Structure 1
Amino acid sequence: MMTNLFSSFDPSTSFYLSLNWLSTFMGLLFIPCMFWLVPSRMNFLWIKICLILHKEFKTLLGNKIKGMTLMFISLFSMILFNNFLGLFPYIFTSSSHLVLTLTLALPLWISFMIYGWINNTIHMFAHLVPQGTPPILMPFMVCIETISNIIRPGTLAVRLAANMIAGHLLMTLLGNTGPSMSLMLLNILIMIQLLLLILESAVAIIQSYVFAILSTLYSSEVN
Structure 2
Amino acid sequence: MMINLFSSFDPSTFIYSFNWFSSILIFFFLFYFYWLIPSRFNFMSLMLTKIIHSEFFILIKNPANMGMTLIFISIMFFVIMNNFFGLFPYIFTSTSHLILTLSLSLPLWLSFMIYGWLFKTNHMFSHLVPLGTPFPLMPFMVCIETISNVIRPGTLAVRLSANMIAGHLILTLLGNTGSSFSLYLMPILVIIQIALLTLETAVAFIQSYVISILLTLYSSEVN
TM-score, with structure 2 as normaliser: 0.95
Q: Map residues 61-100 of structure 1 onto 2, 5 A cutoff.
A: 61=60, 62-100=62-100
CA contact (8 A) 1:50 1:73 kept: yes
Alpha-carbon offset, residue 4 of structure 1: 1.0
Tell me how far apart the structure 2 counterparts of residues 114 and 206 of structure 1 sit (CA, whole Å): 29
Partner of 1:46: 45
Q: What code does the residue aligned with 1:137 have?
A: L
Q: Map residues 1-223 of structure 1 onto 2, 5 A cutoff.
A: 1-13=1-13, 18-36=17-35, 39-61=38-60, 62-223=62-223
Tell me how far apart the structure 2 counterparts of residues 37 and 178 of structure 1 sit (CA, whole Å): 50
Q: Which moved more, 1:102-111 or 1:182-191?
A: 182-191
Tell me how far apart the structure 1 counterparts of residues 168 and 110 of structure 2 sit (CA, whole Å): 31
Residue 64 of structure 1 aligns to a residue whose secondary structure is helix
CA contact (8 A) 2:32 2:39 kept: no
Q: Which moved more, 1:158-167 or 1:52-61?
A: 52-61
What is the aligned length? Answer: 222
Q: Deviations over 1:97-147 (max 9, x none)?
A: 000000000000000001101111000000000000000000000000000
Tell me how far apart the structure 2 counterparts of residues 37 and 159 of structure 1 sit (CA, whole Å): 40
Q: Which moved more, 1:2-11 or 1:134-143?
A: 2-11
Alpha-carbon offset, residue 3 of structure 1: 2.3
Residue 33 of structure 1 aligns to a residue whose secondary structure is helix
Residue 26 of structure 1 aligns to a residue whose secondary structure is helix
CA contact (8 A) 1:101 1:157 kept: yes
CA contact (8 A) 1:105 1:153 kept: yes
CA contact (8 A) 1:98 1:161 kept: yes
Q: Which moved more, 1:173-182 or 1:157-166?
A: 173-182
Q: Deviations over 1:66-100 (max 9, x none)?
A: 31011110000000000001000000000000000
Tell me how far apart the structure 2 counterparts of residues 41 and 182 of structure 1 sit (CA, whole Å): 46
CA root-mean-square deviation: 1.6
For structure 1, the residue ranges without an aligned partner over 5 or more in a row are none
CA contact (8 A) 1:13 1:19 kept: no
Give 4+ residue runs of structure 1 displaced > 6 Å after superposition.
none
Alpha-carbon offset, residue 14 of structure 1: 6.1
Q: 1:39 to 1:189 in 2, by over 3 A?
A: farther
For structure 2, the residue ranges without an aligned partner over 5 or more in a row are none
